[in-house]
Chain A
Amino acid sequence: MTRYLLDVENPNLDGYEKAGGYQGLARALSMEPALIIEEVKKSGLRGRGGAGFPTGMKWTFAAGDPKFPKYIICNADEGEPGTFKDKAILEKNPHILIEGMAVAARALKAELGYIYLRGEYPKGKDILQAALKEARGKGYLGENIMGSGMRFDIHVHLGAGAYICGEETALINSLEGKRGQPRLKPPFPVNSGLWGRPTMVNNVETLANLPFIMRAGAAQYVKIGDPGCPGNKLFPVSGHVEKPGLYELPMGTTLREIIYGQAGGIKNGKRLKAVIPGGISAPVLPPDAIDCPMDFVSVQKQGSMLGSGGVMVFDNDTCIVRVAHRALEFFERESCGKCTPCREGTSWLRAILERIETRQGREGDLQLLEDVSRNIAGNTFCPLGDGAASAVLGFLRHFREEFEEHIKNGCPFGPDDHTRTVIAR
């Protein structure tokens, strides 16, 4: 297995250099910017922030815009519930991210970058800041990077608790000191982003793939993972598995291998009931779908999405209505309020799910859930509302009887912590 995202013994600069760190940047510095973009295109790298957009193509757009200065933004807002992969890179191997950003800066001739770090990761901020200082000290950042004459520096911007700021235009507004609401696209950030300048927004994990691509070359990179979607992927696995945690595996590894092969199977000898494959916005899948390879295309064919790759596993004692209700509490709270279908729709969905969970559900509520969801889908300003709607439709598609049962007879499940002994005092 070729690990490369987290594989350092020691997160400081020495440890990273020993593992081949900053050799990718050295190679990038010896190349023309256009050739770096070519190499990234050849690597087939697709963005790890959720949408899977080809990174090289996005770079071409930004490089093609004549305006300067250009900015590199690292999206470290990781707010998708069930996801803790970017955090691991930030805390365990910050230099791989810094090197990746410097490569991007070289390719796009940018001189300034920002890491937009979510407010809930205060520890990450200290680690990043220490790493940035180390990198400046060694000339990997600053006025004359590795003697090449290239200039580039990175600042850390701490968010303050808003899921929507993970959306790239909301993130840019937030970085400008405004309310974190999305902007209308087009113009896209690659043409008009931060302060109206061409801006490349990439996810932490995306950027962390660049040092390897630069060091080993695209030809090596495409041998890993799935031919249509190469590379390794970080899979955060949570919920009812024996060994929850973060797994770095080739793109296209099946859900079955992730849940049973890597994470030790379902906890306490129970059965798998459902799995959310890519963070809370990804529609739930039933057990018979777990032979699905985890890549952008295959998961979509199953009616869900790879999203963040956050695999959330539920055993046969889990109440799906409760899960759905909690998911919608999240979307309702995090809807930025800018557009009505999302603001009102998520609030309706939450209220209906709440009454179903608390045995006040009415006949026709399931139809209502579907109607409201369909009215949200495709009608919102940004994809947050779509995520909420497709999550609800997913729960209904695969677990309709359970919702009906709740409306008729109430919740058949005990408290969630059936695996723990409660010591009440």
Chain B
Amino acid sequence: MENFPAFSPGALARLEEIKKKYPPGRAALMPALHVAQEDFGWLKPEALKAVAEYLELPEMTVRSTATFYSMYRHKKTGRNVIRLCTNVSCLVLGARTLKGILEGLYGLAPGNTSPDNRFSLEIADCIGACGSGPAMLVNDDLHTGLDAKKVIEVLENYK
């Protein structure tokens, strides 16, 4: 089998580990997509193709799975991805106001990226922090107890 120049060496090493944990075939697809997303930044067509080749699956199969899940991204995102929870427990503590602030301050509409490419905003449905809401994930970091002031302070740390 040829090697896979589409992936970085680090990503390839992780893919090898993943393969060991699953039976051959489609089962390793979700973890492989996670790796590809990190490696390519988003699941651009080349990324899906590389995954398909690596796992020896039809591209349609890869695409079919990849489009079902909301955390797989099919367009380019900004440098930082914000997932703001606006579900009920966060809603009643002011999450809508926060959404308004992100819109006003950074020009961020849900599903879009700020003009300076610094942030992308996604609306999340409960990220398991309802007890200290409103809450958001920025990349992999959880931020809780947000209010109008704190959300701005937190985001200042992401360039």
Mark contacts of B21-57 with chain A using CB atoms, 8 A cut-off: 1 yes-contact digit, 0 otherwise.
1110111111101100000000000000000000000
Within 8 A of A (CB), among B95-119: 95-97, 101, 104-105
Chain A, interface size category, equals 35 or more
Which of B21, B83, B93, B131 neighbours the largest number of chain A CB atoms within 10 Å of its CB? B131
Contact between B23 and A174, CB atoms less than 8 A apart: no
**What are 29 A-B pairs with beta-carbon distances under 8 A?**
A82-B87, A83-B126, A84-B131, A87-B128, A120-B124, A155-B21, A157-B30, A158-B34, A161-B69, A161-B70, A177-B26, A177-B27, A177-B29, A179-B65, A180-B69, A245-B131, A246-B131, A276-B88, A280-B88, A318-B92, A323-B92, A326-B86, A326-B87, A326-B88, A326-B91, A416-B94, A416-B97, A420-B147, A425-B152
* B contact set with A: CB distance below 8 Å: 21-23, 25-31, 33-34, 64-65, 68-72, 83, 86-89, 91-97, 101, 104-105, 124-133, 137, 140, 142, 147-149, 152
Taking a contact as CB atoms closer than 8 A, the residue among B22, B31, B92, B130 that contacts A83 in the complex is B130
Roughly how many angstroms separate A78 CA and B94 CA in the complex, as a whole number?
A: 23
Mark contacts of A217-245 with chain B using CB atoms, 8 A cut-off: 1 yes-contact digit, 0 otherwise: 00000000000000000001111100011
B129: chain A residues at CB < 8 Å are: 84
Within 8 A of B (CB), among A174-198: 174-181, 195
Contact of B89 among A78, A82, A176, A415 (CB under 8 A): A82
- The reply to whether B26 and A176 form a contact with Cβ atoms under 8 Å apart is yes
Cα distance A80–B126 in the bound complex, in angstroms: 8
Is the beta-carbon distance between A322 and B97 smaller than 8 angstroms? no
- Nearest-neighbour CB distance to chain B for A118, whole angstroms, equals 8
Chain B neighbourhood of A333, CB < 8 A = 125
A1 near B: Cβ within 8 Å?
no
Contact A244 B128 (CB under 8 A): no
- Which of B83, B95, B126 interacts with A82 by CB under 8 Å? B126
The contact of A160 among B34, B92, B96, B128, by CB within 8 Å, is B34
Cα A83 to Cα B97 in complex, Å, equals 23
